[in-house]
Amino acid sequence: MRHITQDGLDLICHFEGFSPIIYLCPAGYPTIGYGHLIIEANKEQFLDGIDELEALDLLKTDVQKAERAVLRLINVPLTEGQFDALVSFTFNLGGGALQRSTLRRKVNRGEHSAVPAEFMKWVWAGGRKQKGLVRRRWAEGKIYNC
């Protein structure tokens, strides 16, 4: 199976940020570490917080789901930068967002120059345009075209 590069992981870490304690992400979900979503059944294990190594382990496990979604939904060859950008996007928004997106259709049609503009359509959370998501989507578009 193909995996995200260290540069891709660094991108996710940069935009997710590290939190050793539980917080609510902009969409209102309980989260810890580098964007690890907490389900109610596992909440107790995180009540005392986590360190950065634990957060990186969680991230590496969580990213595998996004990698599998990209591999399943994209049927054209991708450069490392394209794969990293799509995994970052999918990690942030979920495989369903990629599956139903015009972004996916443009990638699969080989319309790579149109992809950065498609990333920029996904900058909303909790009904509000998020400056952090604008920066993230711009960065994903940039590495997609490298």
pLDDT at residue 67 in the model: 98
Domain boundaries, position 74 = 6-144
Task: For residue 1, tell me if it sits in a domain.
Answer: no
- Section 43-67 average pLDDT: 96
How large is the C-alpha radius of gyration of the chain?
A: 15
pTM of the prediction?
A: 0.95
From residue 97, alpha-carbon distances to 20, 41, 92 in Å are 28, 25, 10
Q: Is the pLDDT of residue 42 over 90?
A: no
* Number of helical (H) and strand (E) elements in the chain, helices listed first: 7, 5
pLDDT at residue 127 in the model: 87
Strands 30-33 vs 124-125: parallel, antiparallel or unpaired:
unpaired
Q: Dig out the tokens for 116 from the structure.
A: 């950065």
Number of domains in the chain: 1
The answer to whether 145 and 85 are in contact (CB under 8 A) is no
Task: For residue 12, tell me if it sits in a domain.
Answer: yes
Give the CATH number of the domain where residue 93 resides.
1.10.530.40
Residues serving a catalytic function are 16
Question: Over the stretch 11-34, which tens digit does the pLDDT of each residue have?
Answer: 999 999 999 999 998 778 999 999
Task: For residue 130, tell me if it sits in a domain.
Answer: yes
Q: Dig out the tokens for 123 from the structure.
A: 């900058």
Comparing C-alpha atoms, which of 82, 74, 93 is closest to residue 16? 93
Task: For residue 104, tell me if it sits in a domain.
Answer: yes
